[in-house]
Amino acid sequence: MSNDPFLDKIIRSVKNDSGHAFAMARDSEGKLHYLAAETEELIEKYCEGSLLREELAIEEWASWVTPAVVAKDFKWVGESRNPYSISKPIYKYDSEGNFVGYREFKDKF
């Protein structure tokens, strides 16, 4: 974590039981970003900015989020695959249950 035991205690208290970290960060225009990752360090690294992305300021670490809220509103910035992504049924089967092919998803709008 950090070298400050008081700060470590605060970070541990807001960490979700799932083992993932969640934060709310604000950009220079005032827009709020909801971020999720495996650790706090990955969120902090993402917020530092780069040539292609501006810097974000972490306003709050969150522990109140449910998996449904993370899947809908949060951006996964972790290094592994997003465990909160919602899968789509991509296979087509005929009436007998035999594999026919893959579905093509078209946007509604």
- The mean per-residue pLDDT over the stretch 47-76 comes to 86
- CA geometry: angle 25, 65, 108, nearest 5 deg: 85
The answer as to whether 48 is a domain residue is yes
The answer as to whether 90 is a domain residue is no
pLDDT one-digit tens code per residue, 76-93 = 999 988 888 887 777 888
How far is residue 17's CA from residue 3's CA, in Å, rounded to a whole number? 23
The answer as to whether 103 is a domain residue is no
The answer as to whether 100 is a domain residue is no
What is the b/e burial string over 42-78, where b = at least 16 CB atoms within 10 angstroms of the residue's CB?
Answer: bbbebbeeeeeeeebebeebbeebeeeebbeebebbb
Max mean pLDDT range (10-14, 48-52, 68-72, 90-94): 68-72
The answer as to whether 92 is a domain residue is no
Residue 62, domain extent: 5-81
How many separate domains does the chain show?
1
pLDDT at 17: 56
The answer as to whether 63 is a domain residue is yes
